[in-house]
Chains A and B, each alone.
Chain A
């Protein structure tokens, strides 16, 4: 079964506000995490990743925070824009460098209100 999950299936935010999308994971051995964005009718696209030896990583308008104590991952999007409307997935590598890729969460649908 999946150990990666999201707290909310849908998140609605006002344009210009900051968005925070949360993700919980259950495997303490997971050592690598990725956030993907999937727009309607398209495949998932990489946003940002973080390794377990870090607790924060920043990209362009996005920040990923990792709290290993409570096994929680979050994606913060600054100044949300209409183009940010999408489903966001977190994914974890279950550790051990196994050949089975990543395990994905079920996704959060981010809706931008004008």
Chain B
């Protein structure tokens, strides 16, 4: 089975802290994505990557950056966390961009105080 693993299920951080959310997939997928999920807003794309060291902005990249140094790992970085970044963060991977199944991790629930 495809497995997308997000390292932290729950995090509590303070405003201004730097936050790293890690995601690893084991299916050798080229494409990886970070979404945030908020009640009433659904899933919104933050960043995606279709190759190692490549990254593209999604719909809401402000306040975030990403790193893809290895194919299997895609990290989301909050340089200076703010309370409006309290959310559920979902990592996903896929074999074919825009077609075919996205495989999601279990999510990382971040609370910024």
Contacts and interface: CB of A to CB of B under 8 A. Distances in A.
Interface string A28-49: 0000101010000111111001
A46 B101 contact: yes
Interface string A72-114: 0000000000000000010001100111111111110000000
A111 to B, nearest CB: 16
B113 interface: no
Interface in B75-113: 90, 92, 94, 97-107
Nearest to B57: A100
Given A43-B4, A43-B90, A101 B48 contact: yes
Given A43-B90, A89-B43, A102 B102 contact: yes
A contact residues, range: 20 to 34
B27 interface: no
A77 to B, nearest CB: 19
B56 A99 contact: yes
Interface SS of chain A: loop
Interface residues of B, number: 28
Interface of B: 4, 31, 33, 35, 40-45, 48, 50, 56, 58, 90, 92, 94, 97-107
Contact of B45 (A101, A105, A106): A101
Contacts of A43: 4, 90, 92, 104-107
A100 B98 contact: yes
Given A42-B106, A103-B45, A106-B42, 16 more contacts: A2-B42, A32-B99, A34-B101, A42-B107, A46-B101, A46-B103, A49-B100, A89-B42, A94-B98, A99-B31, A99-B97, A99-B98, A101-B48, A101-B58, A101-B92, A105-B42
7 contacts: A32-B98, A43-B90, A44-B104, A99-B48, A101-B98, A102-B98, A106-B40
A89 B104 CA distance: 13
B94 A107 contact: no
